[in-house]
A and B are shown apart, each in its own frame.
Chain A
């Protein structure tokens, strides 16, 4: 009998749920059947029973658990929102490309994230923290709509304390308690000093934010487009470059991406409704 292994879901246990924002939670998931991991940048497909599949990026690996930060915005994620610690879900993966950590050895790393876009970049921060000596300076620029929309706030102090790390946060709209930067994330770019010959930028956020960020990094910081990496969102259904939905030009985002070297995807990324 032929079995298409790729579509087989493996049972996994939700071992811990942490609230991040009003509608965003981080799920710690323990694979029960086989070891399923995921490198920084990759994603897994989560499946609440009968609800359909949803691709969610890996936001960390802790004690053998995979962390997935999920915003409850669609039918499947809203169904996930009802699942608690101890619930069993289906899981397959990991899929997709990874952030250029190898290429970043001895290089400065500039992370620019918008909103939930910090989730797939969190494992990069953790990796740099863990193997600090292997990388150059770390710069993290993070923006969200309001202070309530900032992910991982409990970890911000930890990020700041990473040796040789600059961490800047901004919000589009502050509140009474907010004393930090106000403005879109690109307003943080002038705050860091970037050596264009020695820096790798990793960008993730809404498409418009990425377009403006990439533009600023190239024009104002002199970064070559081959030193910029972005992580793209598309409707990823099968995860293996077969079902067609996630295509951007000749690329299957689920298979060739979601992390792309900007020079590679640029020609298509900048085209409207591609």
Chain B
């Protein structure tokens, strides 16, 4: 994709937003009434996108305050691509089986961050190897408008994971807000066509591009973890049987599963039977987590009955097994699992420790 950086102002961003109005469901950041976090939800107007607000994220802490640039809250595009509960099949008593209709709407992800766009790329791999019809139904109907991250938060490490802070792939349009200007670039033919319709956009001058590079380079330095992904699967698996190490790393782990729920790529689910009094059963797909006790339990035994082993499964899956399964790492470095961990466990520190050993 040839990428020419175009320059405009916030007016053009609004124009871009308005282009989708009435044509698609627009999902973007918003602070709904009564909430004290940025959420992804349906937007009716550009003005709903928060302004003059910033999120302060630390391990186990999230706070909104006045500021210039906000990142993401706990939810991610995952909840639209892979709904947390989905009725899939209705079964009647004589085992007449009818699938429920699932017809997701044309959706625009507006102002999501590069890590979230990268997470969709990962989900593409995890869900399409079995041609998951539910995922694909939505996947064919999305447009991704990314806001590059000029100020990564304290729990971010997208630079290490290679997913940000500037989006490099898996988006239609990326934009960057720099000192009153908004720079646009297309990431797909679809995105390029849309940008071409906004005639006031002009190619950015060299001065502006230099300014852009400087801002992005600074952001890059802020989004690093204390480890690299080079040979990471092998480094981690060296310690696979080091029980004491995993016990140490999971010392504070509550086994609550929050990390897996807020993770934009975790894909585990289970299907339960919801029986009803009128004698039909709905088979419902729910998000599941490798931190639930029943996850690895069978009728006469348990394959992973302790928290340290669950924690190892999660870390090794994200940073090693995933690579072997889908030829990509399972982490985008968004830091949600760090911010939203009630115990404030810092994944970055633990991956570092686990890859060096003790």
Task: List chain A positions with a Cβ less than 8 A from chain B.
Answer: 1-11, 47, 49-53, 73-74, 77, 88-90, 233-235, 237-238, 240-245, 247, 249-250, 252, 267-268, 270-274
Contacts and interface: CB of A to CB of B under 8 A. Distances in A.
A105 B304 CA distance: 37
Nearest to A32: B95
Interface in B105-151: 127, 129-130, 132-134, 136-137
Interface stretch (B6-14, B61-69, B165-173, B288-296): B288-296
Contacts of B130: 6, 240-242
B103 interface: yes
Contact of B288 (A3, A245, A249): A245
A9 B97 contact: yes
Contact of A4 (B99, B243, B269): B99
Contact of B283 (A2, A7, A270): A7
A241 B124 CA distance: 15
A252 B321 CA distance: 10
A7 B91 contact: no
B334 interface: no
A120 B70 CA distance: 56
Contacts of A272: 241, 243, 309
Nearest to A4: B133
21 contacts: A2-B134, A3-B133, A6-B130, A7-B88, A7-B283, A49-B95, A50-B91, A50-B273, A52-B273, A74-B298, A77-B299, A90-B97, A234-B303, A240-B130, A245-B288, A247-B317, A250-B321, A252-B325, A272-B241, A273-B305, A274-B240
Q: List the 9 closest A-B pairs by CB distance, nearest first.
A: A74-B299, A244-B268, A273-B309, A250-B324, A250-B321, A73-B299, A4-B133, A2-B133, A50-B281
B207 interface: no
Nearest to A88: B95
B203 to A, nearest CB: 41
A53 B271 contact: yes
B296 A235 contact: yes
Nearest to A249: B321
A244 B267 contact: yes
Interface residues of B, number: 54
Given A53-B271, A244-B290, A7 B132 contact: no
B78 to A, nearest CB: 14
A4 B273 contact: no
Given A234-B296, A235-B296, A244-B290, A8 B99 contact: yes
A245 B290 CA distance: 7
Interface in B297-356: 297-300, 303-306, 309, 312-313, 316-317, 320-321, 324-325
A237 B288 CA distance: 11
B271 A233 contact: no
Given A244-B290, A250-B321, A273 B306 contact: yes
A8 B89 contact: yes
Contacts of B288: 243-245
A243 B305 CA distance: 19
A68 to B, nearest CB: 15
A1 B103 contact: yes
A136 B299 CA distance: 37
A2 B89 contact: no
A247 B321 contact: yes
Nearest to A116: B300
B91 A4 contact: no
Contacts of A234: 296, 298, 303
B159 to A, nearest CB: 26
Contacts of B94: 11, 88
Contacts of B240: 267-268, 271, 274
Given A5-B133, A50-B91, A240-B130, 13 more contacts: A1-B99, A2-B133, A2-B137, A4-B133, A7-B283, A10-B97, A50-B273, A50-B281, A234-B303, A242-B269, A244-B269, A267-B240, A273-B305
B277 to A, nearest CB: 12
Contacts of A270: 241
Nearest to A253: B303
Nearest to B101: A1
A25 to B, nearest CB: 15
Contacts of A6: 130
Contacts of B295: 235, 245
Nearest to A240: B130
A11 B321 contact: no
B1 to A, nearest CB: 29
